[in-house]
């Protein structure tokens, strides 16, 4: 499972993108019980990168990178299927992004993953906030903004 795929939307096979969406919905909507508009329109932007690792059948770990400006890229939708966790797949994807993306990287980490991201060089750069689930603005998942700034030699 070491092959990393890194493609814009228009290069992804339709069945593969369907499986990517299934993975994201299984993790964020079903498993985390957080109904929200998963199809947010950003997936189809030409500058959006979809990055994943597949097993023999479908994507098992995924993230996307959105270009916020020439200098800033946002990592999001980091998801790994439940039976493929704790194998280093998401870390492999994050490292791939660090090594193939210039400029500053930002993300909003679920707070229980803050230390995990810190081990990869991200730093917390703001206060924790609740990312809402569905229409109830009082429910949601606690997140913290983080940034990866490149070392200048």
Q: Do 106 and 66 meet the contact criterion of CB atoms below 8 Å apart?
A: no
DSSP 20-72: HHHHHIIIIIIITT-------SGGGSTT-EEEEEE-SSSEEEEEEEEE-SSSE
Which parts of the chain have pLDDT scores under 50? 153
User: Residue 75 and residue 56: Cα distance in Å, rounded?
Assistant: 25
- pLDDT score for 1: 54
- pLDDT score for 153: 47
Q: Tell me: the pLDDT tens digits for 26-54?
A: 999 899 888 878 889 999 999 999 999 99
Domains of the chain: residue spans and CATH: 4-148 (3.40.630.30)
């Amino acid at each position: 499972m070491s092959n990393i795929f890194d493609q814009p939307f228009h290069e992804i096979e339709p069945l593969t993108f369907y499986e990517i969406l299934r993975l994201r919905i299984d993790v964020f909507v079903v498993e985390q019980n957080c109904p929200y508009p998963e199809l947010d329109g950003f997936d189809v932007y030409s500058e959006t990168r979809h990055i994943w690792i597949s097993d023999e059948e479908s994507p098992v770990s995924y993230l996307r990178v959105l270009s916020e400006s020439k200098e800033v890229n946002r990592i999001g939708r980091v998801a790994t299927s439940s039976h493929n966790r704790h194998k280093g797949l998401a870390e492999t994807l994050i490292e791939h992004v660090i090594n193939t993306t210039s400029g500053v990287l930002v993300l909003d980490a679920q707070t229980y993953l803050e230390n995990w991201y810190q081990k990869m060089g991200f730093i917390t750069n703001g206060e924790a906030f609740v990312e809402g689930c569905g229409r109830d603005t009082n429910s949601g998942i606690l997140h913290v903004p983080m940034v990866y700034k490149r070392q200048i030699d």
